[in-house]
Amino acid sequence: MTHPNPSNEVAETSTSASESVPSQELTHQRIVVLDFGSQYAQLIARRVREQNVYCQILRHDIKAERLAEIAPKGIILSGGPASVYEDGAPRCDPELFKLGIPVLGICYGMQLTCEALGGKVDNTPCREYGPATCEINEHSGIFQGLPDSMDVWMSHGDQVSSISEAFEPIGKTGTCPYAAIRHRELPVFGLQFHPEVTHTPMGGQLLRNFVIGVCGCDPTWDMGDFAEATIEMMRRQIGNHRVICGLSGGVDSSVVAALLYKAIGPQLSCILVDNGLLRKGEREMVVREFSDHFKTDLHVVEGEKPFLETLAGISEPQEKRRRIGHAFIDCFKDEADKIQDAHFLAQGTLYPDVIESGADPDGPAATIKLHHNVGGLPEELGFELIEPLRDLFKDEVRRLGIELGLPESLVWRHPFPGPGLAVRCLGEITSDRLAVLREADSIVVEEIQKAGLYRETSQSFAVLLPVQSVGVMGDARTYENAIAIRSVNTNDFMTADWSRLPYDLLAKMSSRIINEVKGVNRVCYDISSKPPATIEWE
Ligand code: XMP
């Protein structure tokens, strides 16, 4: 499903890769990733950061002289969708191989490396996607400490079928004779497989070998450095202007607000739109957390009426999202107009939210990433965007939140969709149906917390189904609502499995919901994984 954005946490924008990571101006050793349009460029950067080494993504066509100024300790050439032999296929500046900086080419990056250093490379179209076993014949350099054979993940259209004398093969699979290669004289390596994905279980060690062993980085960078550099960068970018930040109570927008507050203090204005679709006590909680942590301007917009009016009689999920999106923009805009001198809009766009990308005229490095909540706050609002989290993954944002002093209860909150309870209230949305859902949902969350499973599960909530069924209460027949409990475990929210909650816990939730929530006489537990189901029911 696609989700037109009703949320104040997410948005779509275009930012070139080189702008998207705060430049931690030469305060830290760094690895750079040159992005050839790979789905995985950010993942490579994240894997490097996991080694406590700062990593920056740059345009693929950055000039070697500029790289020399940046002076990275190592360069990683990402994969990419193009074929090296296609017209207009993106290339790097071949001079970069003369800088004496170690280079690791991954997939397409390896093919470019061979082409740049090995004279002619014959590329045979050879599609391979999936697991393979790589036999390793050299246990130093990038393969230091790794076994003779390791599971790897292949995802390519072309592969290098012959290499020049300058290179030596150091790993092969059944179908790929040059799964890993090393230059005989230069600190240059190539991998046909993807070390950055979890399906290459030893990929982390391999990248560590490159970053620390080959490039000689000290593993000293951490989220505190990220926070410091980001705050400094925002301070410079914002100057004396005012910034508006949409707040939802979720971890992403709270972390953005915390960064901004540290950067510019009272120049920050936050807007919370209460769309009437929030969970029980949520608005009060956000206001309380906000005033505990930020002594700055907060605007709470009373939006329940317009939201429920626009949703009246609407059952179709995408239409609900569309209407919520429009109502959100209207409410947000009305409030933003009241804030004098606002020049910037800050949003908590995260990398894992990004599921689609397409090239813009500047080439694959300047990819336009679309959140699955496509829509965002429209450009007509006229603000310049600030998105300090757009390269981070959820768990990195949580670490950053802790670093910034936000409370664990906020940092570890389960994600909540922008359209709120509307996509969990199947069928028509009325304030009565929302009230039933809100009560049932708060019981689900409370019981999960009491059982100590809140951190273990990724998202746990109630869904109000659009069916009524027969029951018996006391001596009377009932004909009432059914609630579904949904609880999932996931790392990235792109795939998920249903949580194996203990029966006793399910029993407790069920009896509490049926006894305490008027209008419910049946509770079911959703045992569908994603895919083929999705986490939300709508
Ligand atoms: P699905 O239902 O697509 O959800 O498996 C994946 C994650 O995205 C959240 N989600 C949304 N978030 N606006 C949002 O801000 C939306 O329209 C939306 N729909 C789903 C969902 O809660 C889960 O975390």
DSSP result, 370-422: EESSTT-S-GGG-PEEE-TTTT--HHHHHHHHHHTT--HHHHTPPP--TTGGG
Residue nearest to atom 22 of ligand 1 (CA): 417
What amino acid occupies position 517? Answer: V
- Residue 99 · residue 67 · CB < 8 Å: yes
pTM: 0.76
- pLDDT < 70: residue spans in the chain: 1-27, 119-126, 351-378
- pLDDT number for residue 381: 78
Express each pLDDT in 477-536 by its tens digit.
999 999 999 999 987 777 789 999 999 999 999 999 999 999 999 999 999 998 889 999
What value does the CA radius of gyration of the chain take, rounded to a whole number of Å? 26
CA distances, 205 to each of 71, 212, 224, 239 (Å): 24, 10, 24, 42
pLDDT for 155 equals: 82
Ligand 1 centre to CA of 492 (Å) is 11
In three-state secondary structure terms, 226 is: helix
How many whole angstroms from 459 Cα to the centroid of ligand 1? 11
pLDDT at 23: 45
Q: What is the dihedral of CA 365, 371, 375, 379, to 10 degrees?
A: -40
**Token pair recorded at residue 106:** 């991954």
Counting from 1 in the atom list of ligand 1, the atom nearest the Cα of 536 is: 2
Residue 263 CB-half CA count within 13 A: 28
Calculate how far, in angstroms, residue 536's C-alpha sits from the geometric centre of ligand 1: 6
Choice among 92, 107, 215, 331 that is catalytic: 107
Residue to mutate, 273, 424, 493, ligand 1, most ligand atoms under 8 Å from C-beta: 493
Helix (H, G, I), strand (E, B) or coil at 328: helix
pLDDT at 367: 34
Calculate how far, in angstroms, residue 200's C-alpha sits from the geometric centre of ligand 1: 28
* Any atom of ligand 1 within 6 Å of the Cβ of 418: yes
Residue 447's closest CA among 493, 487, 398, 488?
487
User: Is 139 a catalytic site residue?
Assistant: no
196 tagged catalytic: yes
Residue written as tokens 């970018």?
Answer: 237
Pairing of strands 188-191, 180-183: antiparallel
3-state SS, one letter per residue, for 103-145: EEEECHHHHHHHHHHHCCCCEEEEEEEEEEEEEECCCCHHHCC
Question: pLDDT per residue over 453-480, tens digit each?
Answer: 999 999 999 999 999 999 998 889 999 9
Q: DSSP strand E in 173-229: where?
A: 180-183, 188-191
The pair of three-digit structure tokens given for residue 232, joined into one six-digit string = 């400094």
Domains and CATH numbers, the chain: 15-19+222-411 (3.40.50.620), 30-214 (3.40.50.880), 424-525 (3.30.300.10)
Cβ atoms within 10 Å, residue 525: 15
The pLDDT, as a whole number, for residue 500 is 98
Q: What is the DSSP letter of 278?
A: P
**Under a CB-based contact definition with an 8 Å cutoff, are residues 521 and 478 in contact?**
yes
167-201: b or e for each residue (b if 16 or more CB lie within 10 Å)? bebbbbbeebbbbbbbbeebbbbbbbbbbbbebbe
Residue 249: per-residue pLDDT: 81
In the set 9, 196, 289, 447, the catalytic residue is 196
